[in-house]
Amino acid sequence: MPSSLSTLKALGAAMAVLFFVAQPAAAQNSFRPTAEAVQEDKLLNALKEGDKISGRISIPDANAANLIQPAGRDWRDFHRSKLPIIGGVAILGMVVLLAVFFLVRGRIRLDHGFSGTKILRFANFERFTHWLTASCFIVLALSGLNISFGRILVLPLFGAEAFSTMSTYAKYAHDYLAFPFMFGLVAMFLIWIKDNIPNRIDLQWIKQGGGILANGQHPPAKRFNAGQKGIFWIVIIGGSLMSLSGWFLLFPYLPADVTALQVWTVIHAVIAMLFIAAMLAHIYIGTVGMEGAFEAMGTGEVDLNWAKEHHSLWVEEEKAKAPSGSTPRALPAE
Partner 1 sequence: MKVFLAALVFAAIAAVGVAMVLNNIQQPSSVAFTTGGARVGDPGNNLIGPG
Binding region for partner 1 (CB under 8 A):
58-61, 64, 124, 127-132, 135-136, 172-173, 175-177, 179-180, 183, 300
Whole-angstrom distance, CA of residue 97 vs CA of residue 92: 8
Q: Are 159 and 111 in contact (CB under 8 A)?
A: no
Adjacent-strand bridge partners of 66:
54
Residue 326 to residue 320: CA distance in whole angstroms: 10
CA 117 from chain centre, in angstroms, equals: 41
124: Cα within 13 Å, side-chain hemisphere: 0
C-beta closer to partner 1: residue 173 or 267: 173
Are 311 and 320 a contacting pair, CB within 8 Å?
no
Can you tell me the distance from the alpha carbon of 303 to that of 127, in angstroms, rounded to the nearest whole number?
A: 17
* Cα–Cα dist 209/211, whole Å: 5
In the bound state with partner 1, the residue whose beta carbon lies nearer, of 128 and 233, is 128
Closest CA to 240 of 218, 261, 266, 267: 267
Tell me which amino acid residue 30 is.
S
| Minimum CB–partner distance for residue 131 and partner 1 (Å) | 4
Taking the least distance from each CB to partner 1, the nearer of 34 and 124 is 124
- Which DSSP helix (H) or strand (E) runs through 119? strand 117-120
Burial of 43-55, coded b for 16+ CB within 10 Å and e otherwise, reads: eeeeeeeeebeee
Instruction: Report in angstroms how near the CB of residue 295 gets to partner 1 at its nearest.
Output: 13
- What is the closest distance, in whole angstroms, from the C-beta atom of residue 170 to partner 1 in the complex? 13
Q: Are 91 and 277 in contact (CB under 8 A)?
A: yes
Residue with Cβ nearer partner 1 (171 or 218): 171
As measured in angstroms, the least distance from the Cβ of 194 to partner 1 is 22
Smallest distance, partner 1 to C-beta of residue 179, A: 4
CB of 43 to partner 1, least distance (A): 28
Nearer to partner 1, 66 or 208 (CB): 66
- Closer residue to partner 1, CB minimum distance, 19 or 172: 172
Alpha helix stretches (DSSP H) within the chain: 2-28, 33-36, 40-46, 71-77, 83-87, 93-105, 124-153, 155-158, 160-192, 200-207, 226-233, 239-250, 258-286, 294-298, 304-310, 312-321
Report, in Å, the least distance between residue 19 CB and partner 1: 55
Of the pair 75, 294, the CB lying nearest partner 1 is at 294
Of 135 and 259, which CB lies nearer to partner 1 in the complex structure?
Answer: 135
